[in-house]
Amino acid sequence: MEEFEDFTQSPKLREVRYDVRGPIAREAARLEREGHRITRLNIGNPAPFGFEAPDSIRMTMINNLATAQGYSDSQGIYSARIAVAQYYQSRGMTETDPDDIYLGNGVSELISMVLQAMLGPGDEVLIPAPDYPLWTGATTLAGGTAVHYICDEQNNWWPDPEEVESKVTDRTKALVIINPNNPTGAVYPREVLEGLVDVARRHNLILLSDEIYENITFDDAEMVNVCTLSDDVFTITFSGLSKTWRVAGFRSGWIYVSGPKHRAKNYLEGLTLLMNMRMCANVPAQHAIQAALGGHQSIEDLISPGGRLHEQRTVAHRLLSEIEGVDVHQADGALYLFPRLDPEIYPIEDDEAFVIELLRQQKILVSHGRAFNWIDDNHFRLVTLPGVEELEEAVAGIADFLQSYRDATVRA
């Protein structure tokens, strides 16, 4: 009998990584099958931690199910697109039109389509480090090259526009901004954003602004929508319902295109082609958008002092900061902390192996820093979604593990 070669994955996937759901998550699943309870602090998924969508959103979706059984327009249903357009109008983008809005199955799908429509082999995209790793993976899968600019840990995790500009080449097509930032929790001040916009202006780059956490900010942090800072830079803004309105499973996101759209006519035709090829976004979830963007914004109750998200972020930061050799910036936004472990105290050579050992010993699942394309092995990301008591227990477990790691290092 003739022997055939094994079936293998596409060469396009060789350099694609998404370690947030990689080997560490698989090890956690194995431990759960053995009967262990795992504290999952690795994914920003609100639902398992008791965060439910407002009733108005769920009821709107339910009430529209009877009329949501067929395909919609590939760009999205009109009522949802006009609601998103009005959302940006209220932020100063008064010329926004529903035709500037494209709906998708979450921001993740839209990132992939935007990059697929944009990039040719070897085209470069400037992406922050650390980043949300889908940006790097989707750029690579689209045939492009991810070029990482460094967010400065010593300066509130803000990027330096001059350092960003130093990475521009004649192959650079776009500049990605993630604000508020995942994984660091940084919220960029207006002057930093203006500097980044100016880099895009001078080098004729497309601005890609990931603002999925735009309504999750704390204390005095000011969230500035990048699209409001220029009318001469072609900008694609990404946002959606998953975090602010706690419906990650609905997969309901959007992009808003602004700036000199006449210069992007050919590009937008390509993006529309990809939209048509996937038929449409999830229609029932599209009906949730209008209900979400109108009325009382319950996220305000959660991020204000005394609200769950505010208190959990405060407690997690305080407890981590009390551990010897742990340095962590307080998050101004989003749902994460990105602590640094002093390499003099914790000489970690492989942060993935370190995190797996933490998981095996303490049954606590976090994400290692290199999963976010960071440059060293001394960081990890922790989700601040669990209740205060669960966070206290988890950080105590992390402290115990670090103590044993420290002791073992001394003995060695």
Q: Is-contact 259 233, C-beta < 8 A?
A: yes
Mean pLDDT of 83-104: 94
Residues 6+ apart with CB under 8 A from 242: 106, 107, 212, 248, 250, 251, 252, 253
Domain boundary among 293, 315, 340: 293
Q: Averaged over 46-55, what is the pLDDT?
A: 88
User: Does 30 score more than 80 pLDDT?
Assistant: yes
180 near 148, Cβ under 8 Å? Answer: no
User: Where does a domain end: 261, 293, 325?
Assistant: 293
Same domain, 258 and 365: no
Question: What is the per-residue pLDDT across 270-321, written as a single tens digit (0 to 9) for each?
Answer: 999 999 999 989 999 999 999 899 888 889 999 999 999 999 999 999 999 9
Cα within 13 Å of Cα(58), Cβ side:
8
Residue with tokens 């606590």: 364
pLDDT at 364 exceeding the cut of 70: yes
Is 26 in the same domain as 161? no
Domain boundary (233, 266, 293) is at: 293
Place 62 in a pLDDT band, splitting at 50, 70 and 90: confident
74 and 143 fall within a common domain: yes
Q: Is the pLDDT of residue 356 over 90?
A: yes
For residue 13, give both structure tokens. Answer: 């996937």
Nearest alpha carbon to residue 164 among 177, 154, 153, 155: 177
Which residues constitute the domain of residue 39?
A: 12-51+301-411
Residues 141 and 252 in one domain: yes
CA distances from residue 101 to 252, 313, 374 in whole angstroms, order as listed? 13, 33, 32
C-beta of residue 153 within 8 angstroms of C-beta of residue 328: no
Average pLDDT in the chain: 92
What pLDDT does residue 136 have? 95
Q: Residue 405 — very low, low, confident or very high, per pLDDT cuts 50/70/90?
A: confident
Query: Does 412 score more than 60 pLDDT?
Result: no
Asked if residue 350 has pLDDT above 80, the reply is: yes
Residue 185 host element (H or E): none
Residue range 149-159, pLDDT digits in tens: 999 999 999 99
Structure confidence at residue 6 as a pLDDT band (50, 70, 90): confident
Q: Are residues 136 and 283 in the same domain?
A: yes
Percent of the chain scored above 70 by pLDDT?
A: 98
How many independent structural domains does the chain possess? Answer: 2
Q: What is the pLDDT of residues 202-222, one digit of tens each?
A: 999 999 999 999 999 999 999
Give the closest residue to 255 by CA, choosing from 68, 81, 57: 81
Tell me: do 210 and 95 sit in the same domain.
Answer: yes
pLDDT band at 36 (very low <50, low <70, confident <90, very high): very high
**Are 59 and 197 in a shared domain?**
yes
- Which CATH number is 131's domain given? 3.40.640.10
Strand pairing report for 253-258 and 206-210? unpaired
**Helix H or strand E segment including 118:** helix 106-118
Q: Which two tokens mark 332?
A: 């101004």
